[in-house]
Amino acid sequence: MAGLTGQHWLQPDWDPGLTIAHLSLAHFTALGLKAAVLDVDRTLLPGRDVTLPDPVRVWLVDAGRRMKLHLFSNNPSKTRIAAVADQLGVSFTCGAGKPRRGALRRVVADLDCPPAEIAMVGDRLFTDVLCGNRLGLYTVLVRPVQADGRPSRHDRVQRLERSVARWMGASPA
């Protein structure tokens, strides 16, 4: 199950084992990435709250100075995703239907950058990473975040998805 480049569909381009709050923005800049499409639930914030953890907010403000940002969530609640996006003043998609490509194609067209210059950041291999890889974005797998910005210990879903991806021939850590 490999993409056009020979990379496995379930293999993120970058898998640093960190939450989004601790990703080096210099890494994105060095790669020439102009935009980032960001998952919301468990990537930017835990639980049902809509208040961003401070370390995540700081990262997003800094990231927004360097790249165009777009929140891209499978969550059907427009109220919830809009509440997060409005805190940052960025555009968003809810009910995105990842890993299907339709909504992401529209976002890529709106961002007006080549897919290879757009990062896709999320905590799920079978939605975020798979969807981004299918369209040739630079995919980043992050650890699910907890309220203080550090990795959540409740990451059974990600560990299960890593196991299944390995079984399917990908080699995420």
The residue written with tokens 């639980």 in the block is 47
Residue (47 or 114) nearer to Mg ion, CB: 47
**Footprint on this chain of Mg ion (rule: CB under 5 A):** 39, 41-43, 123
CA 19 to chain centre: 11
- For every residue of 152-173, which 3-state class applies, written as one string? CCCCHHHHHHHHHHHHCCCCCC
Q: Rounded to the nearest whole angstrom, what is the least distance from the CB of residue 28 to Mg ion in the complex?
A: 19
Minimum CB separation of residue 122 from Mg ion in Å reads 5
Q: How far is the CB of 68 from Mg ion (least distance, A)?
A: 20
Backbone angles phi, psi at 169, to 5 degrees: 105, 0
How many residues comprise the chain?
173
Q: How far is the CB of 41 from Mg ion (least distance, A)?
A: 4
Backbone angles phi, psi at 87, to 5 degrees: -65, -25
Q: Which is nearer to Mg ion, 81 or 135 (CB)?
A: 81
Of residues 29 and 51, the one with the C-beta less far from Mg ion:
51
Q: How far apart are CA 82 and CA 27, in angstroms?
A: 28
Partners of 39 in the β-ladder: none
Nearer to Mg ion, 7 or 75 (CB): 75
